[in-house]
Structure 1
């Protein structure tokens, strides 16, 4: 009877686990809502001299837009000086042109609203839709939408999927490789094995992307970044297993399952639990954002690597702590010398 119960109960348990896993991985996307997306505002309006004094209409327009953004909560405007800010740090840049006040004299003026497409293509699509819905009333101001860090149209929807695919191609083999490397009784060999796996993963994943997508040029910077991410995840896996046993696999696996949405969406799109808690420690978004920085923002490296190195450092600490907990028997296996118990065994007993 017990075997019969197991026969139908196990498939239900497995199905429930898979449903829960996919809910954790992709559920936040179903509840995404942009909030406080950083937008830079550049005031270049030179104004005009009138009998009433020097008038600058652009300032009033920016203030009006800032109020609208605050009401919706979706965008957060930050006024910056032209040439003194990094446009890659923002999801969009609003620019008031130099002749804006002159344009207003004809009751019609345009404001440039450029969306940073390369920062996160999925977020850029949402933001472009939001721009068309911003109502400036009867002020005569027209928002002129455009993009910067534009992505090759040949990529299409693949631009959204490439970072996600690379997460799986980097994290999963690194966890598997770390699991295998942790079985080595020579502790010093485990980081070396993790490094070899990382090099293979970096080269293979970057080559695969150039093979199956319109990104025909192999990117050495991407390969190096993926290798660093792979090594850090591999060391986390090794350290967790060495210290906690096979149950330690829960730690790197949880990083992938909980972090998948953080890699696909910016923090400002995620629900509270993921933006306030998961984002703080999960390295998946560091890997995905670094990939976008290299592929779409044309950087040779990414500051997101700090997050990867931090999680790799945690793995190294766990690996070192596990070495301190070794028993005399495990130490004898490492250095090739017999343990005290083995030395005390009578020869006649053999």
Structure 2
């Protein structure tokens, strides 16, 4: 058959394999996530024999099982610093040994009062990571509690106990939870920042590509001087502002209609617009230099990035952490919106804002430099 002799036809199955492979790469990130070295703060506000017992249990937990990396990596911190550390997203949670813990546990059977180990949850950091840390710490408290319960029962032997003592015997240590930076209701279980950030990238990608096609048509019709090319780039930048504002306010409006609990409609709209504009500059810059293949490149970046946006880096394979996660622009928009939604940030969101702004500035500079490429094409044609 003639079709089988056509090289382009044979490119079809190869293209299918490549596309499916790209879509399937995220299976490595999401298929069987292994939690390791989840950062958790250890705050010790007491001292004594029973406090030392908790410390030893923490050390044992930090060693992992059978030489594997531990689920939780503990770091000693002070109580007064924990709010700032949580705001800086240094820890998903904290285990706190409160003041009076040692004496309360020492006299638990006499006073019929259980001792408390406090668990602070930095929920806004990442709900998945915070829930894993919460589950691990609750399991830790349960394990320590079981050891003390067995010891107390052995000490009492055949002595008679009343109902109040029985309760303490079963649970001499109980967890007490406190949530920091809570994930508010109606924010898609903490996924709202990512869900709002993705359209900013998609809008920039599609808008940038359409404007690129329009300018390509102009270049085909006439040869432009550098000054004229610079004017055309200025027009593209103005179009980018329009596209970004349309993107931001469309996203915010649809989110409001969908019932997403936004801290501020205009704040979210303008931040998404800001991110979309900076992404548009990046897309336009790379497209101006390499043409249509740039769109494929950015689509690949988006596909690879989807697997890392909502997953804590402690649950990702090292390849994703080192070579994919740092290069996903959408992540910074998501992190910025997370600051706005759950950490009380204004328009300036710190590191995420700075990174997005850096992307925009770099994109604009590269875009402006493309005028030299246009002049070279003209000289070759002459």
Q: Into which bin does the TM-score normalised by the smaller protein fall?
A: 0.7 to 0.9
Corresponding residue for 1:51?
none
Alpha-carbon deviation of 1:205? Answer: 0.9
Corresponding residue for 1:347?
none
Give CA deviations for 1:256-314 in whole Å, capped at 9, x if unaligned.
11211221112222111111121223222212222222112222242212222233333
Alpha-carbon deviation of 1:198? Answer: 1.2
The correspondence of residues 309-320 of structure 1 with structure 2, limited to 5 A, is 309-320=357-368
Unpaired runs of 5+ residues, structure 1, are: 48-54, 332-338, 342-350
Give CA deviations for 1:178-225 in whole Å, capped at 9, x if unaligned.
112334351222222222211211111122112113416643222222
Question: What SS is found at the alignment partner of 1:325?
Answer: helix
Corresponding residue for 2:349?
302
Corresponding residue for 1:43?
44
Candidates 282, 294, 317, aligned match of 1:236: 282
Alpha-carbon deviation of 1:68? Answer: 0.7
What TM-score comes out, normalization by structure 2 length?
A: 0.74
What TM-score comes out, normalization by structure 1 length?
A: 0.81
Corresponding residue for 1:95?
96
Corresponding residue for 1:346?
none
Corresponding residue for 1:132?
138
Q: How many residues align?
A: 324
Candidates 57, 66, 90, aligned match of 1:64: 57
Farther-moved stretch of structure 1 (226-235 vs 159-168): 159-168
Candidates 269, 278, 299, aligned match of 2:315: 269
CA distance 1:180–1:3, change in 2 (3 Å): same
Tell me the distance in 1 between the aligned counterparts of 2:93 and 2:297.
36
Question: What SS is found at the alignment partner of 2:35?
Answer: coil
Question: What SS is found at the alignment partner of 1:115?
Answer: strand
Farther-moved stretch of structure 1 (123-132 vs 265-274): 123-132
Question: Is 1:151 aligned to residue 197 of structure 2?
Answer: no
The correspondence of residues 1-350 of structure 1 with structure 2, limited to 5 A, is 1-3=1-3, 16-25=17-26, 27-45=28-46, 47=47, 55=48, 57-58=50-51, 60-71=53-64, 73-85=70-82, 86=84, 87-88=86-87, 89=89, 90-106=91-107, 108-134=114-140, 135-136=143-144, 138-139=147-148, 141-155=173-187, 158-182=188-212, 183-184=214-215, 186-215=232-261, 218-300=264-346, 301-303=348-350, 304-327=352-375, 341=382
Tell me the distance in 2 between the aligned counterparts of 1:217 and 1:321.
39
Alpha-carbon deviation of 1:149? Answer: 2.2
Corresponding residue for 1:348?
none
Tell me the distance in 2 between the aligned counterparts of 1:178 and 1:340.
27
Unpaired runs of 5+ residues, structure 2, are: 109-113, 149-171, 219-231
Farther-moved stretch of structure 1 (16-25 vs 164-173): 16-25
Alpha-carbon deviation of 1:240? Answer: 0.7
Tell me the distance in 1 between the aligned counterparts of 2:246 and 2:53.
56
Tell me the distance in 1 between the aligned counterparts of 2:190 and 2:269.
19
Question: What SS is found at the alignment partner of 2:344?
Answer: coil
Alpha-carbon deviation of 1:151? Answer: 2.3
Tell me the distance in 2 between the aligned counterparts of 1:201 and 1:38.
36
